[in-house]
Amino acid sequence: MFDLNTDSYTGNYDEAVSYLETIPRFNASAGFAGASAFYAYLTQKGLLPDHGCKVFHIAGTNGKGSVCAFLKSIHMQMGRSVGVFTSPHLTDIRERITLNDEVISKEDFLDCFMTVMSCLGEFGKHDPFKDYMPVYFDYLFFIAALYYAKQCPDAIIWETGLGGRLDATNVIGDKSVTVITEIGLDHMAILGNTKEAIAAEKAGIIRKGVPVITVNRDREVYDVISSEAKSKGCPLTVVPSVYEIRKKMNDKGIDFSYKSHYYNNATLEVVGHALYQTENASLAVAAMETVYSMEELPFEYIYEGVRNMYHPGRMEELIPGVIFDGAHNEDGIEAFIDSVKSDNCKGRRLMIFSSASDKQAEKELKAITDSGLFAGVYIVSMDTDRSRTVNQLKALTSIVTAGGITSEYKQDIKQAYDYCKALIEQTDRLYVCGSLYLYEELKAYINSVE
């Protein structure tokens, strides 16, 4: 265990990560007020200088990570350096803190970790935040803030972790633009039981006079966001939802029409067959056109940036015929189903599914069953303490079988994958979804056997 008062401790990267894994995810002492005060303390110490970079702040239920990935890709096409703070990570904690296409080095991670530790020891000696300790996400945010302060990228993209109003990333004052993606029912125990309540939390990232980019899928949600933007005097840009965008599927991806600020009705292309990415790309492009001039942002940068975007685990074909999607809530599952409907599969579709204990798996599986797209759904345990119990997962199979579809419980992703691979033929497809926690397990196993 680390001692914050031990100045002589030097540590190492693996011990730092192990320590972070012991930090609570929620219920930090002093919460957002403490995070805000500590951020101000780091700034006063000269550790977080304002170097005038562009700041993009992203909130929402679904699509945040994809919007961040599109923003990063377009910036890199422009030749601009860009930092991205995002979550969760799939295989390595350092994936949360990147600069261009590189994750933060272990040396830089440890150095920033030690700086946070040292400053917490000093900060915690004073009231009113005596003994303040950030939660897991907040600690990583402070590491990222220190790292980007040293690297001075041209732009930083901050993805909120949970909500927005009380998220650690919301301590940042000088924002260039805020983006609020599609809002759905998720983390309701913390954010509220209605979409309107959740939207109010997400809209908490809006700052006076700072442009807001959003989508109008749900009138009640939109009214919350637009009202907050109006009250703060913020220019508001609304992009067409995925259901309104004109799009055409081809073998490699999706061509779609985007109404550009600069280039009228422009045609863009997203690689892959995730229909929802047309909306996420549109949000990202609108944000870029809000921050940069037409001279800074030629159309070819937008086109190539969108086309070259890669975001793992979003309708990703891991090997031919095996597709993973990170859908993990009702709205995400609906978007996933819409994409599957357009996949031109000429055989059967099978699915491997799992769910964290705080998700509404029953409703998600009902939607999957009612879609009529799948011949079998195999439910598995995940290697995480957030997984449902074996009995809870086994009980989920009854929802699928009640719809006349084969469903069985398998003890892990390896057993389920082997079982399904033995069933599928060349024209069949295997989909895996329900939680991003499955991604690392599945990809590692496929690499070991294929």
Q: What local confidence, expressed as pLDDT, does residue 30 receive?
A: 65
Dist. CA 76–CA 93, nearest whole Å: 23
Q: What is the DSSP letter of 377?
A: E
Dihedral angle computed from the Cα positions of residues 330, 333, 339 and 341, in that order, rounded to the nearest 10 degrees = -100
Beta carbons of 328 and 64 less than 8 angstroms apart: no
Q: What local confidence, expressed as pLDDT, does residue 190 receive?
A: 64
Q: What local confidence, expressed as pLDDT, does residue 5 receive?
A: 46
Dist. CA 403–CA 366, nearest whole Å: 8
Q: What local confidence, expressed as pLDDT, does residue 29 receive?
A: 58
Contacting residues for 396 by C-beta, under 8 A, at least 6 apart? 353, 355, 361, 362, 365, 379, 388, 407
Q: Which residues pair with 266 in a beta bridge?
A: 258
3-state secondary structure of 340: helix
Q: Return per-residue pLDDT of the chain as tens, 450 residues.
A: 445 444 444 679 999 999 999 988 876 656 899 999 999 999 999 999 888 899 999 999 889 999 999 999 999 999 999 999 998 887 899 999 999 999 999 999 999 999 999 999 889 887 788 878 899 999 999 999 999 999 999 999 999 998 899 999 999 989 999 999 998 776 555 676 688 989 999 999 999 999 999 999 889 999 999 999 999 999 999 999 888 888 888 777 899 998 898 998 899 999 988 888 999 999 999 999 999 999 999 999 999 999 999 888 888 889 999 999 988 788 889 889 988 988 888 899 999 999 888 778 898 999 999 999 999 999 999 887 777 889 999 999 999 999 999 999 999 999 999 999 999 988 999 999 988 888 888 988 999 987
Dist. CA 316–CA 326, nearest whole Å: 9
User: Around 163, how many Cα atoms within 13 Å sit in the side-chain half-sphere?
Assistant: 20
Q: What local confidence, expressed as pLDDT, does residue 228 receive?
A: 97
- The domains located in the chain, with CATH, are 316-449 (3.90.190.20)
Dist. CA 238–CA 139, nearest whole Å: 33
Would you list the DSSP string of 20-76? Answer: HHTS-SS--TTHHHHHHHHHHHHHHTTSS-----EEEEEE-SBSHHHHHHHHHHHHH
Dist. CA 70–CA 310, nearest whole Å: 8
Q: What local confidence, expressed as pLDDT, does residue 189 receive?
A: 58
Whole-number Cα distances in Å, 445 to 165, 346, 421, 441: 39, 26, 13, 6
**CA atoms 136, 141, 146, 148: torsion sign:** positive
Give the residue from 131, 135, 194, 132 showing the smallest Cα distance to 162: 135
End-to-end Cα spacing for the chain: 41
Whole-number Cα distances in Å, 346 to 191, 342, 395, 428: 42, 11, 31, 7
Dist. CA 84–CA 98, nearest whole Å: 5
Q: What local confidence, expressed as pLDDT, does residue 28 receive?
A: 60
Dist. CA 98–CA 76, nearest whole Å: 13
Query: Helix 299-307 vs helix 277-291: angle between axes, to the nearest 10 degrees?
Result: 150
Dist. CA 423–CA 400, nearest whole Å: 18
Q: What local confidence, expressed as pLDDT, does residue 253 receive?
A: 86
pTM of the model: 0.89
Pairing of strands 54-59, 177-180: parallel
Both structure tokens of 411: 């003890």
Dist. CA 331–CA 199, nearest whole Å: 14
Beta carbons of 245 and 256 less than 8 angstroms apart: yes
